[in-house]
Structure 1
């Protein structure tokens, strides 16, 4: 009886792990992960974006990537994995508005705590953050972000700065904008991580890792 139960557990784990392996074999759309100082014109030339309005502040638009999201709970912490880009996102982010410099301190504390078993969370680049922008009609709702994400963080910092100015690039999910703000202003933080999508405990079938929502 004990051997039978063990075989059932092994078979169940193989079926659970199969979607992860399949997703890992699919090619990702690679987005820049290193920070840059970018001009307004450079941001407006960003790939994988459909722009509907341009201005001296940035642009409004949405991502053209066919995002494939999956919401997970790892060690009790909620994340959203995008199988199209290979990125893992914090499902919500900071509870309060913070300045750009304080955003780095907030993420350092998050890494020290090991959110979702990971210690390599960071601010997204503008390309990574803009990949979350949905068109107004895609989900039939106004917020320009998939409903798997918390909407409380309606405007977030990126790690990219605007050249020749004391500002950084931001993403607004209330209006689908990519715009810059001074680093002394305040926004929310939604960190991201790349590289190994899942922490080791998840890949080894730890009971700390639960699939909450399928693609």
Structure 2
């Protein structure tokens, strides 16, 4: 008997811990490699521990992860000094906003105090809430009533290739918020309700956005989905495209909304990180992650992601 007797696992999840699993490896396994067309989708789900340092203090969580499935099973009330030491062991400052794999000291403590205990006082299972309609925040003003009366800012709209330093320079040049690269940044928008129940306009950038977006898939399949959406004339238009990294970052808010995304509440929570029309130099693809409030890149030939399309308004 161990801690899993206290937790309600999904039927597809093995009652075991993947000690070598990390947040980055989980992304590659379940959001990238698992979505390649030459690999079948898998029902496999695994459990692993990680340290979340996005709040005022680090927290230790037990994650249940699979393709198209993410669920925090429990919080572990580990000693604060041990979680701080874990962050430092990864060569990071305690102020670093990121998720971290556990270190050997935490693993030893977890085995003794949590995993091998049927009822550990340090294990706090999460309470699953009933599904409810997504809160989209306050109603946006109609077009022309946002209060924005300045000149339109024309962000780059052509696909590009950037290295890490160029992404940092872009973030500071446009004053985009990024938890790592520009935590004092803020790019103001002029968001308006287009009235079609499908899209949102930004009068500052002259862009029209899907309020929701496209589901998780490979970059190749995403390209095909965009072509089909344009063929069908989504919201009456045929020129929808993947946003550039600058356009996607222009939506980044300096603090998370009630849904936990660094994004205006008028946008759906179902696209937490999105493809952008930018390759990384020397290798990889750039993404914009509204869950963690930053840009990041993923290596591999066919990574997986969501997408929120945009178009230039006339």
Tell me by how many angstroms 1:64 deviates: 2.3
Aligned residue among 147, 155, 161 for 1:31:
155
Equivalent position of 1:40 in the other structure = 164
Give, in whole Å, the separation in 1 of the partners of 2:148 and 2:291: 32
Equivalent position of 1:82 in the other structure = 202
Q: Greater relative contact order: 1 or 2 (C-alpha under 8 angstroms, separation 6 or more)?
A: 1
Equivalent position of 1:172 in the other structure = 289
Give, in whole Å, the separation in 1 of the partners of 2:269 and 2:179: 23
Closer, same or farther in 2 for the Cα pair 1:61/1:188, shift >3 Å?
Answer: farther
Closer, same or farther in 2 for the Cα pair 1:162/1:119, shift >3 Å?
Answer: same
Tell me by how many angstroms 1:21 deviates: 10
Closer, same or farther in 2 for the Cα pair 1:29/1:51, shift >3 Å?
Answer: same
Structure 1: gaps (5+ residues) = 1-17, 197-215
Closer, same or farther in 2 for the Cα pair 1:51/1:130, shift >3 Å?
Answer: closer
Structure 2: gaps (5+ residues) = 1-141
Equivalent position of 2:255 in the other structure = 136
Root mean square deviation of aligned Cα: 2.6
1:145-188 deviation line (CA, Å, top 9, x unaligned): 000000110010001100121x2111111110111123522110
Q: Is contact 1:65–1:84 with CA below 8 Å preserved after alignment? A: no
Tell me by how many angstroms 1:19 deviates: 5.3
Other structure's SS at 1:127 match: helix
Equivalent position of 2:187 in the other structure = 65
Normalising by structure 1, report the TM-score.
Answer: 0.70
Larger Cα Rg: Structure 1 or Structure 2? 2
Equivalent position of 2:298 in the other structure = 181
Closer, same or farther in 2 for the Cα pair 1:147/1:101, shift >3 Å?
Answer: same
Give, in whole Å, the separation in 2 of the partners of 1:176 and 1:52: 6
Closer, same or farther in 2 for the Cα pair 1:128/1:26, shift >3 Å?
Answer: same
Normalising by structure 2, report the TM-score.
Answer: 0.49
1:23-81 deviation line (CA, Å, top 9, x unaligned): 89741111000111100100000122356654xxxx4758622111112343xx51010
Alignment: residue pair count? 170
Equivalent position of 2:175 in the other structure = 49
1:125-153 deviation line (CA, Å, top 9, x unaligned): 0000000110116x576310000000110
